Structure 1
Amino acid sequence: MSFLSRKKLNEVPRDVDLSELERDSRYRIFSGGMKVFLTVVLTCFALFQLYASLSGRLPQQILRYGHLGFAISLAFIIYPTTKKSSRRTVNMLDVIFALAFLTVIGYFIGNFKALQLRAGEYTALDTVMAGLGVFLVLLACWRVVGPPIVIIASCFMIYGLMGARGLFAVQMPGFLAQRGYQLPRIITHLFITTEGVIGNPIGVCSTYIFLFILFGSCLEKTGIGQFFIDLANALAGWAVGGPAKVAVLSSALQGTVSGSSVANTVSTGSFTIPLMKSLGYEPEFAGAVEAAASTGGQIMPPVMGSAAFLIAESVGIPYSQLMLVALIPALLYFSGIWIMVDFEARRKGLKGLPREKLPPAKPLLLQKGHLVLPLAAIIYFMLSGFTITRSALWGIMIAALVPFLRKSTWVSPKQILEALPLAARNIVSVATACSTAGIIVGMVTLTGLGQRIGGGMFQVVGGNVFLGLMCAMITSLVLGMGVSTTSNYIITSTVAAPILIHLGIPLLAAHMFCFYFGIIADITPPVALAAYAGSAIAKGNPFRTGVNASKLAIAAFLVPYMFALDPKLIMIDGTFLEALPMILTALVGLFGIGGGLIGYINAPIESYWRLLMIAGGVGLLIPGMTSDLIGAAVILAVYFFTRRKKSGE
């Protein structure tokens, strides 16, 4: 028996109620016939998803509606209305809400072909059903995820109702002015078209996010997950925050072959997030580490997402040269995450375990080394050109079979089957968040808000380079809510890149700037698909996971300004030797910013010292000798002050 089998690192005292700590743990606990009924429904949900993935016969709209129907109706049954509501029984109102949503989904699936033939000429009943669907989605999300994202989505809807032709005949000022829409137009757009609730976020959720959550459930139920926890701790458990650092490294390496932030999150996160939680990291931080690191995979050569190939073609350089240009910013990005993970571990006292208390790596590998096959298989299939979905399906099958290769790792078939309802229950929270994110996406596409913000803000830029960069960043982030990275790059490079070039920023640097911020939208709330995927595996709050991921990825918000203001960092009109001093000062700057944001270096830092650390770090990231010297002096002063204070205690 391994060390971690005897004593879980994240063991919680029996008198602690996890529902008091995690909103997603407030689900109802049933017994008897209700427990059996819920298990059957959850299993049917999982089997529906597997059938859709294996057959490929369902139209995307039907798949998304079916996924949403299961998830939202289950949300009303599984999660109580309030924190003080009973967690043992379901009240009649929740049953009514669940049945009402199933009725809505049944209506749209049953009338799928008729709705296509109407081509937007929706009936009054279509509109009523769509309105009820949007309301119930928001209500379920408020219950499961919390009010922040629901409030933000509601504000986007209100914006769509404002304008000359809107329900509220109040015109927004300046570039925010738009034609406005009536309520029926908005709710049918949000619930019937693929630009809203059943848009890209729920599409991602209903395909490979679910499959990788099922993959993770298989690892948990077959004991493979425990093996990876044991192995990781055997190799790195002695280090400060070891498993989190393993997560950063593995996600960076995974990014070199994938190029998809969400795919990276759900694939490597199936292993790394449980490892981080086992060490003592909070779910929202563990999910954020994986989401931030996985999002960085899109800027990590050699594969940086499909938009990178468009950059090479637009700028007219070989892709091999683009890889070299992207390498330094990518390394700085992951260095920033590594630094903050280390500080967080030191702040929380997560020192790892004494080596003598850890399971020896060699005997562990000899006894259970075959359990690594599911991970090896997924990597092999991805490298072989299989789709993410097919790779996940093979991984699930191998994870279910591999424990039977040796008697010491056998599990009962019942344990394997238990992975189905477990995965279905775990997807409910992320599906409700993704469906509400789809409302935001739908309003951005309907009103053209992204392009309006971009066009309007660039009118006030004038000749200010920094202001122009800020406008490009905001435009990319807003567009990133509603479109894919590739589409985001195409639009932003068309709207924003010419302005940046006109301001004196080199062509390649301008395009890279737009590309970077389009990617970071995947972890920037309120629509943060990679963070939602990470939170689903970590069983944490999606919105807070997105906030933590944005904080961890602070380098991604700062490094593009560095190479835009001084392109020598990415070896434009310069050599690596000329870029080296900038790299070193950037690392020191990220050290200061990381310490300030976490509130710890070699000891806890008071709030005013934290602000100084952040300011000093930013100073080192600003090109120029004067700012570098001031920033370095500030960081050194705070470092030695806290060190002296700690030694004096």
Structure 2
Amino acid sequence: MTRLLDSVSHRAARWAAHLLVPAALVFIGYQMLTVWVSLHGSMQHYTVHLTGVLLLAAVIAVIDGPDMRKAAWSKALHVLAAVTAALVAMIAGWFLYTNLGTLEFTQPFIDAKALVMGALLVLAVLVLTWLLWGFPLAALCALAVAYFAYAHLIPATWAPSHTRPNLLVSTLAGYGGPRGLFRFMPLSADMIFLLLVYGGLLYGAGVIGMFADVGRAIGNFFRGGIAYSAIVASSLIGMVTGQAVSNIALSGGMTIPSMKQSGFTKEQAGAIEVLASTGSQLLPPIMGLGAFLMAEILGVAYFEIVKAAIIPGLLFIATIMIGVFSLVGSSESIPYERQPVDWDRILWIMPSFLVSLSVLVGLLYLRYSPAMAGFLGIASLMVLTFLRPGRYRPELHQLAGGVREGIRIAIYLALMLAAIGLVVQTLSTTGAGISLGRSISAIGGGSLPLTLLLGMAIALLIGMGLPTPAAYALIAIVVVPALIDVGLAPLTAHMFGFYFAIMSTLTPPIAVGVLTAMRISGGTFIGTTVQCFMLGLVCFLIPYAFVAHPEILSPSEFGWGGALALAFFFVATALTSAAVYGALGRRLRQWERVLAGLAGPLAYLVYLATGNVIAGGVGPVLLIAFLAASYLGGGVDHRGKLRA
């Protein structure tokens, strides 16, 4: 029996693997067609999109399901659950598509058949979320549905009134409008889907591999240069995939082994990759999916969010590089070595990336739809890819791999949007989100510093174990209103929440980014988490910088105040890294290390709180000048140690 179940599971996985690319191409073709032609009404379009997402999610779940470490019955159950969810989604999706007109007028007074179909559609989403995203996100969404249905039984004054089954199902299943499962479907269908496919095709077109050569070229100028190259490569990859965990898995397979071979420990290599991939979610053009959510919530063009994130994103990456500089200076096991660079590869492949990216960003800047930008970005990428010389032109199987990568990322995120729509709808309809936000405001007592610290802590807790977009969607409802209540502008409040949604990927005890990296590096969870904290400590100051100086989020209004804040931030970053690792170009004496720890973050916080340049900036700048003079003056040997 065990052999039979194993055989069935593996055979189903092989069939699904053969089916994925053709099915993906059909779905991508449909999405591209809708950019130019309106095939049907908007809700019918979103119904087709959600049904297609669920069917492809089931195919991916079957491919990923059979695991040699699992029992035969567990693998077979995984495949059965995926196939059943696909059949249910197809039947319920067809029912919804053919009855949308009737349901729009009759909801919430729906008949028994509509009630069953809606419940089955919700169940299919929950099952596939469990199979693809794991237990934490599926459990959160299931608990939200249960709360919607049974919260009236809670003996408290704030508990909502009883919700009838027909109202519950019609609301969560999205009958009559984009709510529940369909709350964020316009975001997936009309905005991000083709952008994510574009990111996957960059992998198939060889652009992702070319980034490694760009990183090596930059890293050849510094000791431990492979780490800088890893940061550059992971950031460039992440800026077009927009997903931290996927980016760690994609780029970490190249960068982490290279760093280990160059003297970095397993934990250090994993931490550098985690932080680079995390920070890349702040970099345009795709950023994280949360940025698209933010644009929708604020009612602004997505490009406005891109402009606001440019300086924080660059600060994040620069901070990691400064931290690596101190890390390398503290280690004697990391040599200076030059890595070979294939310049011809860069020169032939780079144009296809730069031109297609320019087309994409330019269209977003001109306020064209993200779907249009994604379509023309894909078209220009493919044309320029096939104009390369034969040795730099991808094979058909490589392009198929790019399609697989792009459709995986797009389907994972679209499925997550459907699932998190259940949670957001529950928080909105029952009033639970408003109640939680008022609780934060009450605890903060109107104090901006206290509310910021409380909001940061809650955002990090919410985000543990959740993908960034899901974490941000909840933070936007629970935390952000409290920040607005104490005087923050809506954009600043949302960027604060989005930033800590990103940082939650490396927050223990779950830290999904760390878990992904340690599987590649072979390091320990605790050790990698500690290295993430050491390397990324100063990154926690970035949101407080743009709260104190909102012009950081508006490059067009950037002035001397913002420039001074950034200058002091870099000084604080260098001194904090020096204190953490005991080195900044050279090894530090104990008293220098203590002084750096005090003069770095503490002085910068004083500056942010008071705006006093003398109290917050002069001391740290003088200390940096002293350390730089002792290094440049030749007082250290080739290993960064002080000469006798």
The TM-score, its normalising length taken from structure 1, stands at 0.64
State the 1:570 CA deviation.
9.9
RMSD: 6.2
Among candidates 105, 117, 125, match of residue 117 of structure 1: 105
Amino acid at match of 2:254: S
Question: What does 1:12-161 correspond to in 2, within 5 Å?
Answer: 35-36=14-15, 38-56=17-35, 57=39, 59=42, 60-80=45-65, 84-85=69-70, 91=76, 94-95=79-80, 97-112=82-97, 113=100, 114-161=102-149
Matching residue within 331, 356, 359 for 2:341:
359
Deviation at 1:499, TM superposition (A): 3.8
- CA displacement, residues 226-254 of structure 1 (integer Å, 9 cap, x when unaligned): 33433442344564323344358769xxx
1:12 maps to none
Are 1:438 and 2:437 matched, yes or no? no
Pick from 250, 274, 279: which aligns with 2:255?
Answer: 279
Greater Cα offset, 124-133 or 619-628: 619-628
For 2:180, which of 177, 196, 218 is the aligned residue? 196
Q: Which letter does structure 2 place at the counterpart of 1:129? A: M
Residue identity in the other structure for 2:55: F
CA shift at 1:191, angstroms?
3.1
CA contact (8 A) 1:210 1:427 kept: yes
Determine if contact 1:382/1:388 at 8 Å carries over to the other structure.
Answer: no
Query: CA distance change for structure 1 residues 327 and 287 in 2, over 3 Å: closer, same or farther?
Result: closer
Q: Answer with 333-342 or 145-154: which moved more.
A: 333-342
**Equivalent residue letter for 1:51:** Y
Aligned: 1:292 with 2:275 = no
SS at structure 1 position matched to 2:606: coil
The residue type equivalent to 1:50 in the other structure is: G
Deviation at 1:415, TM superposition (A): 4.5
> Partners of 1:157 and 1:376 in 2: how far apart?
46
Q: Secondary structure at the match of 1:438?
A: helix
Q: How far 1:120 sits from its partner (Å)?
A: 2.6
Distance 1:160 1:522, change over 3 A: same
What is the match of residue 355 of structure 2?
Answer: 376
Contact 2:279 2:313 in 1 (8 A): no
Task: Give 2:440's aligned residue.
Answer: 457
Number of the residue aligned with 2:610: none
Partner amino acid for 1:354?
Answer: E
Q: Which amino acid aligns with 2:355?
A: A
Alignment of 1:317-466 (within 5 A): 332-340=315-323, 354-355=337-338, 357-361=339-343, 363-365=344-346, 369=348, 372-384=351-363, 385=366, 386-405=368-387, 406-413=389-396, 415-417=398-400, 419-425=402-408, 427-462=410-445, 464-466=447-449
How far residue 517 of structure 1 moved from its aligned partner, in angstroms, is 1.8
Is this contact kept in 1: 2:571–2:620, CA < 8 A? no
**C-alpha distance in structure 2 between counterparts of 1:595 and 1:131, whole Å:** 57
How far apart are residue 369 of structure 1 and its match? 1.6
CA distance in 2, matches of 1:539, 1:391: 36
Q: Which amino acid aligns with 2:58?
A: S
Deviation at 1:264, TM superposition (A): 5.6
Offset of 1:43 from its aligned partner? 1.9
1:159-207, Cα deviation, whole Å (9 max, x unpaired): 44554xx2x33327xxx6544646664454333353333332x554556
Separation of aligned partners in 2, 1:555 and 1:510: 24
SS in 2 for 1:120: coil
**1:507-546 deviations in Å (ceiling 9; x for gaps):** xx656642432443662659x9xxx9999x99999xx999
* CA distance, structure 1, for counterparts of residue 7 and residue 518 of structure 2: 15
Counterpart contact for 2:283–2:314, Cα < 8 Å:
no
State whether structure 2 residue 252 is matched by structure 1 residue 233. no
Contact 1:375/1:395 (CA < 8 Å) preserved in 2?
A: no
Correspondence 1:243 to 2:229: yes
Contact map agreement 1:492 1:514 (CA 8 A) in 2: yes
Q: Is the Cα contact below 8 Å between 1:620 and 1:627 reproduced in 2?
A: yes
Write out per-residue CA displacement over residues 396-451 of structure 1, whole angstroms, 9 at most, x where no aligned residue. Answer: 33444444432333454455345434544555544444443333323232233333
1:212–1:566 CA distance, 2 compared to 1 (3 A) = closer
Report the CA distance shift for 1:403/1:440 in structure 2 as closer, same or farther (over 3 A).
Answer: same
How far apart, in 2, do the equivalents of 1:398 and 1:136 lie?
A: 37
In structure 2, how many angstroms separate the alpha carbons of the residues matched to 1:349 and 1:212?
43
CA gap of 1:578–1:131, structure 2 versus 1, over 3 A, is closer
Cα separation, partners in 2 of 1:307 and 1:360, compared to 1, 3 Å? closer
Post-superposition offset of 1:293:
3.5
What pairs with 1:569-584 in structure 2 (closer than 5 Å)? Answer: 583-584=566-567
- 435-444 or 465-474, larger mean C-alpha shift: 465-474
| Partner-residue secondary structure (3-state), 1:451 | helix
Question: Which residue of structure 2 aligns with residue 21 of structure 1?
Answer: none
Please tell me whether the aligned partners of residues 218 and 416 of structure 1 are also in contact (alpha carbons under 8 angstroms).
Answer: yes
The residue type paired with residue 243 of structure 1 is S
* Distance (whole Å) between structure 2 residues aligned to residue 416 and residue 463 of structure 1: 55
Q: Residues 43 and 597 of structure 1: is their aligned pair in 2 closer, same or farther, counting only changes over 3 Å?
A: farther
1:292-327 CA distance string (max 9 Å, x none): 334265999xxx99989999x9xxxxxx9x999999
CA gap of 1:84–1:118, structure 2 versus 1, over 3 A, is farther
Deviation at 1:627, TM superposition (A): 8.4
Structure 2: gaps (5+ residues): 1-5, 260-268, 608-613, 631-635
Change in Cα spacing, 1:339 to 1:48, as seen in structure 2 (3 Å) is same
Aligned length: 566
SS, match of residue 182 in structure 2: coil
Corresponding residue SS for 1:623: helix
Equivalent pair of 2:271/2:531 in contact (CA under 8 Å): yes
Change (3 A) 1:196 1:604: farther
* Alignment correspondent of 1:13: none
Distance 2:70 2:319 in 1: 42
* Cα distance between partner residues in 2 of 1:185 and 1:594: 55
Q: Which range moves more in the overlay, 206-215 or 112-121?
A: 206-215
Q: What percent identity do the matched residue pairs reach?
A: 16
Tell me, in whole angstroms, the C-alpha distance in 2 between the residues paired with 1:614 and 1:224: 41
SS at the partner of 2:181? coil
Q: CA deviation at 1:358?
A: 0.6
- Cα pair 1:211 1:393 within 8 Å, conserved: yes
- 2:576–2:600 contact (8 Å) kept in structure 1: yes
Q: Secondary structure at the match of 1:197?
A: helix
Instruction: Work out the CA distance in 1 between the residues paired with 2:81 and 2:270.
Output: 32
User: Structure 1 242/33 Cα, relative in aligned 2: closer, same or farther at 3 Å?
Assistant: same
